[in-house]
A and B are shown apart, each in its own frame.
Chain A
Amino acid sequence: MNIFEPENKKLVESEQDFVVNVGPQHPSTHGVLHLKIKLEGETIKAVQPHLGYIHRSIEKMSEAGSYRQFSYLTSRMDYLSSHMNNQACALAVEKAIQVEVPERAKVIRILMAELTRLASHQLWWGAMGLDLGAITPFFIGFRDREEILEIFEDTCGTRLTMNYVVPGGVMVDLHPDFQKKVVAFLGRFKKRIKEYDDLVTGNIIFEQRTKGVGVISAEDAISYGCSGPVARASGVSCDIRKLHPYDGYEKLEFKECIETEGDCFARYKVRMEEMKESVKIIEQLIDNIPEGDFQAKTKNVLKPPKGEWFTRVETARGELGVYLISDGTMKPYRVKFRSPNFSHVSALEHMSKGGKIGDLVAIMATLDLVIPDVDR
């Protein structure tokens, strides 16, 4: 069973070339990414990502489901920001059938999206610590994340793959305890984020492993299609919540976190700032959730007219685009997802070339890859 043989030959040019396979089963690839790394000593000469180890044909399956059904699969795509994936699909369908979402539903969506972003960044912080050799951040990150998951569970019934957003609003109304629990959580979390900074940000070992490692310039970030915290760490302004606001983000006050160094430490700082901004957004909304319907009245069977629509949202990892083509029937003709992680994997070689193989783990940790989002 030598399934790796043919590609290896392409990477190897001379007798001295040394190729290392990382993955598909490797703890620091956060899933089943397979990297072929050509080394000279410890220096990386080339990185070849091999995809498809978790390709579940979500795009093709979307053509078999109805307009209400296909978004449920997308929770399994980028499962750490499953709420935003559902939101992107719902926005595309709403644009197609031209339905106005009630104010209450919009506010609930933003609250849930920002809580998801917090949970995702907490997990990233913990897993990054684990990758760089510190196990304490993992436990601290998960301790705080569990509190958010409890809030989700009260309202949505699930911890991870929520499927809460539907075309026209949200599926059910908020749990009566939602407001109380979120306020209590924010009070605790604002103290704990200082603990995050104390533990990792100023740590000299951490700084030496991340500063000046995996640098990508603003031009390269744009040409590789990077988005989200990765591009913002290189100084590219690309927050979809600011540039193309959706669901009422234009009414909120928050800062787009931008750093200019473009290295691993800058990406770390951007995500830490984003957590603080998410807290601010939730605080603006939590005390004034408008009354009213949580779902607009839509037909049972959605039939958009013929046409094409594109919507995009800012997930915890970057820009997720949904491109929807309808041929006038009750099923989508084609659904294409533009996922942020796919572009980040393609930029991996550019970031790690010329560096040491030990730094590859730091680069992958700060890219925050979710492999099912790459393969779909």
Chain B
Amino acid sequence: MGLTDNFPGTVKQWPGGSLLVSSVDKVVNWSRSNSLWPLVFGTSCCAIEMMSAASAKHDWSRFGFEVARATPRQADLIICAGTIVYKMAPVLKRLYDQMPDPKYVIAMGACTISGGPFFYNSYSVVRGIDHIVPVDVYIPGCPPRPEALLHALIELQRKIKTQTVVRPVRPEAF
């Protein structure tokens, strides 16, 4: 194995032989991270700040997020903007399941992190969407500023750039 020690890549065992993985990772991650298509999924106040991030002043298309899709089958990313209540929880899970891999989730706002202002004394709010779907990036705030959303999206890009294509993108926890 003296040859592969200095080579920028790894040899993986594969059915019927082995597979050389080199700078494919970089190309795949570059393309994945720079064309994240978010799902149009806003339930309450945070959706307005998400729209602000999409509009003229903040303009998230500078970083490659502008193709907001209305169907989960074409989306890479759910920006969960707003409170999730028990009646909405199965819908969110179903939307997540309908998305093709690799898929990412951003929890935008205090409600999606922990229930936020509705943590105490509410009988209908899910205390954090990580009870339902796995979350990649959390954004605190009620609602967070559009700059915070942009920062979260850039952090997600950074996270995607550390992935390799042979490792399963997400453990099969569900």
Contact = CB atoms under 8 A, between A and B. Distances in A.
B123 A31 contact: no
Given A53-B88, A54-B82, A80-B48, A139 B55 contact: yes
A1 interface: yes
B41 A25 contact: yes
A160 B48 contact: yes
Interface string B66-84: 0000100000000000110
A56 interface: yes
Given A52-B87, A53-B85, A142-B51, A31 B118 contact: no
Interface in B13-72: 39-45, 47-49, 51-52, 55-57, 70
Contacts of B124: 55-57
A369 to B, nearest CB: 13
Contacts of B52: 142, 145-146, 149, 159
A97 B49 CA distance: 36
Interface in A1-59: 1, 3, 24-27, 31-32, 52-57
A254 interface: no
A327 B55 CA distance: 48
B121 A60 contact: yes
B57 A55 contact: no
Contact of A79 (B48, B123, B125, B145): B48
Nearest to A143: B56
Interface residues of A, number: 39
A60 B91 contact: no
B117 interface: yes
Contacts of A65: 121
Interface in A71-104: 72-73, 76, 79-80
Interface string B111-150: 0000001101111110000000000000000110100000
A61 B85 contact: no
A183 interface: no
Interface of A: 1, 3, 24-27, 31-32, 52-57, 60-61, 64-65, 72-73, 76, 79-80, 123, 126-127, 138-140, 142-143, 145-146, 149, 159-161, 371-372
Interface of B: 39-45, 47-49, 51-52, 55-57, 70, 82-83, 85, 87-88, 90-91, 94-95, 117-118, 120-125, 142-143, 145
Those 5 A-B pairs whose CB atoms lie nearest each other, nearest first: A142-B55, A79-B45, A64-B121, A143-B56, A139-B56
